[in-house]
A and B are shown apart, each in its own frame.
Chain A
Amino acid sequence: MSSKSKRKLTEALFLVPTLLAFVMVIIIPFLYGIYYSFTNWQGTGAATAWVGFDNYKAIFREPGFLHSFLVTLEFTVFNVISVNVVAFIISLLVTSEIRGRNVYRAGFFVPNLIGGIVLGLVWQFIFSNILPQIGAAIGSQLLSKSLISNKDTVMLTMVIVNAWQYAGYIMLIYVASIQGISKSVLEAAEVDGATYWTRITKIQIPLMANAFTISLFLTLTNSFKMYDVNVALTNGGPTALFMMKPVQASELLALNIYQTAFKYNNMAQGQAKAVIFFVVLTIFSIIQVSYNKSKEIEA
């Protein structure tokens, strides 16, 4: 054995533990999942039979899933916008000359360290108990009822809570990117008489394109896969009418899949939904990343 191929073998061996873990906890369950989505598996070890595309056909006849899909898209759009806008604004704030910016930086990031379930329950208390009391005191019609139990405002609460939790994290990415911009470029612009607004739109934002790629990707996938805040804050409720059928007004896809599998004990159908979920999420992510990549420039 030549020393070169020996070295290659050693390198390959170093990969084995990680590869083994990856195959066992990601690849094998994933393939199993695809297989189960074509069966009537119940998740209890009872006999399993091949049913072909029956699970997939049933999904597209189900108003609840269709509704979850639309609600998830709606949530994703509003959430990506709100998280990134808020994160960008606070990143400008904490990179400016403002006093106490390090305290702000830490403060904005802290919500991200709180687990989604705790956060959901805390905000549920705020929306269901505290806000209605304030609303009653100031005589506001909208606020005097819980925003969560209103099917028209429940998604707003999801967006607010998620922006509050996630903006701090995205802020860090923007802060790093802003700090990476060469001071000389900005100073030159200032000398040439560029306004603050022009500096942001013509210099900072174009130079931060790769940070936008990462942030949009993270918020997009995060919104799509949102589960913990959803289950703790709204539990998918309240009930709304969709195509004249009762559906859960704020049940996002991940929660819908979970309920199908565990509440309705329809494991195989839940798995089929998860496969569809995976495909859609992959397509969206690829489109988004390739679009943003094309906008990036070298500086």
Chain B
Amino acid sequence: MKKLIAVLLSVLMLMMSVSALADIVICQNKVEITAAMEEFAKLYEAKTGVPVKVITGGGSSDYNTVLKAEMQSGREPDIWVIEGPTGYELWKDKIADQTGAEWTQYTAAAYMDGDKVVGFPVAVEGYGLAYNKDVLEKAGIDPATLTNYDAYAAAFEKLDSMKAELGLDMVVSMVAGTTTGMTWVTGLHNFNVYLTVGNQRNDTTYIDQVLEGKVDDARFHQYCQYVALLFKYSDPDMLINGTQDSQLAAFANGKAAFYHQGNWMDPALMQLNPSFEIAYAPHAFLHEDTDGILVNPPSWYVVNANGNKDEAIAFLNFLATSEEGADYMVNKAAMVPAFTNVTLTPSTPLSKSVMEWNAAGKTYDWQQYKLPDGFGMGTLGQIYELLASGVIDVDTFEVMMKDAIANIAK
């Protein structure tokens, strides 16, 4: 009988060895700011005694996959990132109401569910085609004229013919590979160009059509031509094999005139000390002029209602309202804060350019995250790669893209 009791006891002890800790676990999606964020977490721990652990998924690994794995792991994150309605709907049951939290009075960009405040805007982010000002000047191209397809076609051709004297390896530094996990650049960010460029913010005409399986034929045809133009003047090897690092290195070392990435690459860009001025030109894919880059709070921090909720909200308050928080957001992580109380301005070129476009009111919305999970990065990303590797031509590309969109609901 003693043996039986011993066995049962040991089983019980195994089951009870799970306990709660008063710490904060953050699961976030920006590889570029991991180091800055961990430093900020240490600072917070030193100040308040609350340990903060940062888990990162993103860049070449898939954030949503990492988050789901963390959620299944038994120690759910207290704060994690949602990238829009898809993420919100997915985790709705776990997300805490933050209405009335101190940070909410300083921003208009919080994620709302009706009247409830549920998401803390991580930053405002933007992307367009970043350009090397020196190279364009030497080639005699005024970036202000790059507001339609024809201007780009002419500029790309001119740069391509002057590659040798400008020291360029490629005109556009762009990536589209599935092996390197970069299909979010094409399937999400580039596809959003079709969805919103030229439209008022909050105009959901094209995303609504796509979600019903339809596209605007003329506009979509023009978009496909633009994709083909970008790929034509990109380096074929970079498109398929390029990683986030090699894509950046080509641009930062002056080997590419344009760079298809957003201002979240600033910290990595600064490490490479580019010796030239950089700013954004719009993704103007239509024959008509469209003058604006794509800017949005791309993601929001949400708090786990079942986790260490109060500690998590206190952390977010500190981030938004303290000087240390502002310093971290602007200087360390090179983000453009979504908070009105922050007066620091970014010193890094891409963020600065985003702030300028934003201040001029020339921005278009981000709606790519309204696509179903995996559709942009997976389904569409594969078709972009087929075009990039030359397996299909632009006409087949258009047909396959339409076909994929037509099957979106199935």
Contact = CB atoms under 8 A, between A and B. Distances in A.
A246 B3 contact: no
Given A42-B90, A264-B373, A264-B378, A148 B179 contact: yes
B374 A46 contact: no
Given A13-B3, A149-B389, A262 B240 contact: no
B241 A149 contact: yes
- By size class, the interface of chain B is 35 or more
A13 B7 contact: yes
Contacts of A43: 68, 72
Contact of A248 (B62, B94, B373, B382): B382
Given A44-B90, A235-B179, A238-B179, A263 B65 contact: yes
Given A43-B68, A149-B177, A265-B64, A238 B240 contact: yes
Given A149-B240, A246-B386, A259-B374, A235 B180 contact: yes
A189 B330 CA distance: 81
B276 interface: no
B179 A237 contact: yes
A148 B385 CA distance: 14
Nearest to A244: B400
B391 interface: yes
B409 to A, nearest CB: 13
Interface in B311-358: none
Given A248-B382, A263-B377, A236 B237 contact: no
Contacts of B241: 128, 146, 148-149
Interface residues of A, number: 36
A195 B190 CA distance: 67
B19 interface: no
Interface in A218-233: none
A265 B90 contact: yes
A239 interface: yes
Interface in A115-162: 124, 128, 145-146, 148-149, 151, 154
B178 A262 contact: no
Interface in B1-31: 3-4, 7, 10-11
Contact of A16 (B7, B62, B177, B372): B7
A246 B382 contact: yes
A147 B190 CA distance: 27
B178 A241 contact: no
A220 to B, nearest CB: 26
A294 to B, nearest CB: 42
Contacts of B374: 259, 263-266
Contact of A235 (B72, B181, B383, B386): B181
Contacts of B378: 259, 263-264
A17 interface: yes
Contacts of A241: 386, 391-392
B93 interface: yes
A43 B94 CA distance: 13
A215 interface: no
Interface in B174-225: 177-181
Contacts of A128: 241
A145 B68 CA distance: 36
A281 interface: no
B106 interface: no
A259 B391 CA distance: 23
Interface in B225-259: 237, 240-241
Nearest to A10: B3
A70 interface: no
A41 to B, nearest CB: 13
Contact of A263 (B93, B179, B373, B383): B373
A259 B374 CA distance: 9
Contacts of B385: 237-239, 246
B10 A248 contact: no
A146 B177 CA distance: 12
B232 to A, nearest CB: 18
Given A149-B241, A239-B178, A264-B374, A17 B10 contact: yes
A154 B375 CA distance: 24
B181 A239 contact: no
A163 interface: no
A239 B62 contact: no
Contacts of B373: 263-266
Interface in B360-404: 372-375, 377-379, 382-383, 385-386, 389, 391-392, 400, 404
Nearest to B236: A145
Nearest to A240: B391
Given A259-B374, A263-B374, A17 B11 contact: yes
A239 B382 contact: yes
A246 B400 contact: yes
A44 B373 CA distance: 14
A238 B90 contact: no
Q: Which of B3, B178, B375 has the most CB of A within 10 A?
A: B178
A245 B179 CA distance: 18
A234 B179 contact: yes
A113 to B, nearest CB: 24
Contacts of B178: 235-239, 248
Contacts of A259: 374, 378
A239 B389 contact: yes
Interface in A16-70: 16-17, 20, 42-46
A247 interface: yes
B102 to A, nearest CB: 29
Nearest to A258: B65
19 contacts: A16-B11, A146-B237, A149-B177, A234-B179, A236-B178, A237-B385, A238-B178, A238-B385, A239-B385, A239-B386, A239-B389, A241-B392, A246-B379, A262-B62, A262-B68, A263-B65, A263-B377, A265-B64, A266-B374
Given A44-B94, A263-B64, A263-B377, 16 more contacts: A128-B241, A235-B178, A235-B180, A236-B179, A237-B180, A238-B177, A238-B178, A238-B179, A239-B383, A246-B386, A247-B382, A262-B65, A262-B68, A263-B62, A264-B378, A265-B373
Nearest 6 A/B pairs, CB to CB: A237-B178, A264-B374, A237-B179, A265-B373, A246-B382, A239-B382
